[in-house]
Amino acid sequence: MMTKGARVRFQSVCKNYGDVQALRDFSLDIGAGEFLTILGSSGSGKSTVLNALAGFSPASSGEIYVNDQPITYAPPEKRNIGMVFQNYSLFPHMNVLENVSFPLTMRKMDKLQREKLARKALDIVRLGDFAARKPKELSGGQQQRVAIARAIVFSPSLLLMDEPLGALDLKLREALQFEIKEIQHELNCTVIYVTHDQREALAMSNRIAVLRAGQIEQVGTPADIYDKPCNRFVADFIGNTNLLAIEPTVGGGIRIPELGVELPGATTTPAASFVSIRPERFSRVPQPTGVAVQVVLQEMIFLGDVVECSAATVSGRIIHFKESRLAGADRLERGQTLYLSINPDDLVFVKDA
């Protein structure tokens, strides 16, 4: 069932629902075999992108290309695109094999070939022994794997996934993340994945497109999006961070008033007005040496391998830091005065947008 991933290109795509513009000048190139995640909050236009690509809700303007062929106004059944939905959309009166075979039935394929391909797809998702069961006899995770098998049974070069893990519990979501990646590697198809879960996007993607109000804010690798956000919105949306206003100093450099520290040699981009400091970039030190911030510990959250903490600076600003639970580390207590060191190289200066 090895396929060749499709190239996808959105060119100035807009989508209107009456007076509401769900997509605005949306342009994006997706490489063959890439796993690209479209990440955004509810109402940002994520699902609209998939629906326009699948043909369920055609674009109002602009063009969409698959392998350099325009498909903007082609009917869904002519696009040969697999799609996995959050709600599974399985037929309750059909057994697993019949559900997986359904796209092949619609393509008028003969029964023996349908069954052969359906069983192969079920083997890929490790449900070969469940062919005779009805959907109601399966767990949520098994039903989602059946939905994936149905989407890949006709060997699509392009697989769309619309928040497919949103209805599952955390442990099952994490397990299926690995399975989806394994399936993609086995099929060699292109995957466009939609989610609002930042951790899911960081864990699964080759690249991430961060969407806000129907427009792309930033596209990049998970590491680029996390370590080098282009603006305050992306920095705040991806993971946890401390966003702090900055001021220029007279002698050159910057001041972070809420931390009470100055960085004489620091340089920023002209448009930068904030600094982003990830919680893991603070290091607890016994004495205030170098660039260090005095804080009073407020709360601690135990997460097994790490402890996440909130602390108040002298100015009253609450910041967050985290540290690994190392053997022999000092015990933290609420109300304790601490010193947090900052490496200037770990500061990310962002514009307010």
Q: Where are the domains of the chain?
A: 8-230, 240-351
Residue pLDDT, tens place only, 185-207: 888 999 999 999 899 999 999 99
Predicted confidence at residue 242, as pLDDT, reads 95
CATH of 8-230, one of 3.40.50.300, 3.40.630.10, 2.20.25.10, 3.30.360.10: 3.40.50.300
Q: State the residue for tokens 């450099």.
A: 253
- β-pair type (190-195, 158-162): parallel
Q: State the residue for tokens 């108040």.
A: 312
**DSSP one-letter code for 189:** -
Binned at pLDDT 50, 70 and 90, residue 329 comes out as low
311 neighbors 295 (Cβ within 8 angstroms): yes
Which of 207, 210, 232, 197 lies closest to 45 in space, CA to CA? 210
Residue pLDDT, tens place only, 245-266: 998 887 778 899 999 988 876 6
Mean pLDDT of the chain: 90
Residue pLDDT, tens place only, 30-77: 999 999 999 999 899 999 999 999 999 999 999 999 999 999 999 988
Q: List Cβ neighbours of 170 (8 Å cut-off, separation of 6 or more).
A: none
CATH of 240-351, one of 3.30.420.40, 1.10.132.20, 3.40.50.300, 2.40.50.140: 2.40.50.140
274 neighbors 332 (Cβ within 8 angstroms): no
Q: For residues 94 and 3, give the distance between their C-alpha atoms in angstroms, rounded to a whole number.
A: 27
Element (H, E) at 144: helix 140-152
Query: Which 3-state string (H, E, C) describes 191-241?
Result: EEEEECCHHHHHHHCCEEEEEECCEEEEEECHHHHHHCCCEHHHHHHCCCC
Assigned token pair, 94:
């059909």
Residue pLDDT, tens place only, 120-157: 999 988 899 999 999 999 998 899 889 999 999 998 99
**DSSP one-letter code for 58:** -
Element (H, E) at 294: strand 292-302
The model's pTM: 0.89
